[in-house]
Structure 1
Amino acid sequence: MHHQVIHIHAEAPPKPALGAPCNGCGVCCLVEPCPVGMLISRRRKGACDVLFWSDEASAYRCGLLVQPDRFMAGRWMSWGPLRRLWLRWARRVIAAGRGCDADFVQDEP
């Protein structure tokens, strides 16, 4: 059995059950980046570089989806049709809104 320690914001909601709606707990992205996050973070293990804590939402958020200009700088992001395609593709690859797919056990401290 593999153990990994991740540091979770004290106010983060608990990880939902597998298949339950995402609640922004951040556990999945703190363990490893998704395929899109791997491109941006340039790593396959550890916390995703584009994951950030939102005080407003009291939850973790994916910067690629809510702040794409911050993480995907460049003139091409300002072009409306390409921007919309990028966001649609990113949501699909990340499986945003599909439910929790983090299939592992989270131990309490």
Structure 2
Amino acid sequence: MLKNRQVILVHLDAAPKPPRGAPCNGCGICCLLEPCPLGVILSGRRHGACIAVRWQDDVRQYRCGALCEPVAVLRHVLPARLQRLTPGLAAGLAPILARWAQRWIAVGQGCDSSLDSALAEQPLADAKIH
């Protein structure tokens, strides 16, 4: 019996995971499995997909929403009460969040994931395509 296996749902058009150290190709495996330290803060959890990960149809890649859509991510995670008290807070914090995201996801440093990914032979029958 195989141990330490986890199933994650990945967009059918996503590229396969590159080898560790190779340039990131936006496969999304790392972010769909668990959030980075910044993603832990944003998601409020250490396991499961990061709430900031975004599939982008135009480039057919996963991207960090904290980097490419920081205002939308902040609007999602900031309490509504705080957003009402301070209009424009998400827009004001967006450049800071994007800067933190660049650091935490090591932009330009290559794939740092040692995960061994294997594709299922067939898509899951119950999977819903979003």
TM-score, scaled to structure 2? 0.75
Identity of aligned residues (%): 46
How far did residue 108 of structure 1 move? 2.2
Question: For 1:28, which of 17, 30, 39 is the aligned residue?
Answer: 30
- Indicate the RMSD between aligned Cα atoms, in angstroms: 1.5
Count of aligned residue pairs for this structure pair: 107
Q: Between 68-77 and 9-18, report the one with greater CA deviation.
A: 68-77
- Measured in 1, the distance between the counterparts of 2:102 and 2:9 equals 25
Q: Which residue is 1:98 aligned to?
A: 109
Question: For 1:11, which of 10, 13, 18 is the aligned residue?
Answer: 13
- Measured in 2, the distance between the counterparts of 1:101 and 1:39 equals 20
- Measured in 2, the distance between the counterparts of 1:24 and 1:67 equals 15
Q: Which residue is 2:52 aligned to?
A: 50
Q: Which residue is 2:91 aligned to?
A: 78
- Measured in 1, the distance between the counterparts of 2:119 and 2:97 equals 37
TM-score, scaled to structure 1? 0.88
- Measured in 2, the distance between the counterparts of 1:69 and 1:83 equals 5
Structure ranking higher on relative contact order (CA contacts 8 Å, 6+ apart): 1
- Measured in 1, the distance between the counterparts of 2:52 and 2:27 equals 15
- Measured in 2, the distance between the counterparts of 1:88 and 1:96 equals 10
Gaps of 5+ in 1: none
- Measured in 2, the distance between the counterparts of 1:45 and 1:83 equals 24
Gaps of 5+ in 2: 76-82, 121-130
How far did residue 83 of structure 1 move? 4.3
Secondary structure at the residue paired with 2:62? Answer: strand
Residue identity in the other structure for 1:87: A
Residue identity in the other structure for 2:91: S
